[in-house]
Amino acid sequence: MKEKHISNMVFMTQFGTIPTSNAVNKMLRQLLDKLGIHRENFHFHSLRHSHIALLLAKGVDIYPISKRLGHSDIRTTMNTYAYLIDEYKGKTDDKIVNALNQL
């Protein structure tokens, strides 16, 4: 009998291999349907963007976010998530003005 390979992977197929992105997206859609959540064009990669949005909303700096994502160049993170960065920039600008006013 073949011994099962133990891995650090979050998702694995019944054969111990990495599932395709289509398989993961299909499973995610099925789970969302069971929960009564219906989202157009929502896929597993959307969770990555949601994760980054939460980190930015909590004021986490872009550099550690970039490292967490495995980007070798921070410009990749900046370009990919520019729409989120711009959204939170206004909030940061207000914090800077308030901090300077307290000097």
How confident is the prediction for the chain on average, in pLDDT? Answer: 85
pLDDT for residue 56 is more than 80: yes
Within the chain, residue ranges assigned H as helices are 21-34, 44-57, 62-69, 74-80, 82-101
Cut 0.75: pTM above it? no
Q: Are the CB atoms for 25 and 17 separated by under 8 Å? A: no
Residue-wise pLDDT for 2-50, tens only, equals 555 556 777 788 888 888 989 989 988 999 999 999 888 888 888 998 9
| Domain ranges, ordered by start, for the chain | 1-42, 47-101
**Residue 58: is its pLDDT beyond 70?**
yes
Let me know: does 65 contact 77? Beta carbons within 8 Å. yes
